[in-house]
Amino acid sequence: MSSTSELPALRRKRIAPWFLAGVILAGLWIGLSDRGTKNPPVIADRTIEAHLAVPKDVENILARSCKDCHSYETRWPWYSRLPVMSRVLTEDVNHARSYMNLSDWSATMAKGKEEEAAALNGMCEELRSDTMPLKWYRSVHRHTHLTEAEVKAVCQWTEKTAAALLH
């Protein structure tokens, strides 16, 4: 028979694994819970497609390679719900949207035709210089890589559209 002094130690040995499992589960639940990675609503008449004649092939390229960061159509990956990653990804996407937001092209237009043309020309420059999509992003999301033909298609459209805005 065990002594009374051994009972608390025995109980601790039985409770400790359950307590630890509970703490781990609670941590996972908190860590994977919604961390503010929600998109604002897309207002159709504010999008780039509502204001400019975007060819279907270019629209598809933008959707695949640009809109995860440069629009309100971000597809948040599972790891965006992890505490540190949530903050990093949210800041990255908000930063990207501040430069160019394809879901709020009206804001770009409000800056004037010169700024709108500059945004379009900048899009082409970023693609031609292989700056966008970011290399680290492409390494994780390989489907976002653009071929030379896709870069050419986007640039032909942006250059033509920017020139038309300025004339």
Q: Could you tell me if residue 38 is inside a domain?
A: no
Q: pLDDT tens-digit profile of 62-71? A: 999 999 999 9
CA atoms of 107 and 45, how far apart (whole Å): 12
- 5, 70, 78, 94 from 88: Cα distances, Å: 51, 16, 14, 10
Q: pLDDT tens-digit profile of 133-148? A: 888 888 888 888 899 9
Q: Could you tell me if residue 51 is inside a domain?
A: yes
Q: Could you tell me if residue 39 is inside a domain?
A: no
Range of the domain at 116: 44-166
Number of domains into which the chain is organized: 2
Q: pLDDT tens-digit profile of 71-109? A: 999 998 888 888 788 888 899 999 999 999 999 999 999
Q: Could you tell me if residue 2 is inside a domain?
A: yes
Helix-helix angle 113-128:148-166, to 10 degrees: 160
Q: Could you tell me if residue 36 is inside a domain?
A: no
Q: List the structure tokens of 144.
A: 């976002």
Residues 112 and 151 in one domain: yes
Q: List the structure tokens of 48.
A: 């780039």
Residue 41 has pLDDT above 60, yes or no: yes
Do 77 and 71 meet the contact criterion of CB atoms below 8 Å apart?
A: no
Q: Could you tell me if residue 66 is inside a domain?
A: yes
Residues 68 and 111 in one domain: yes
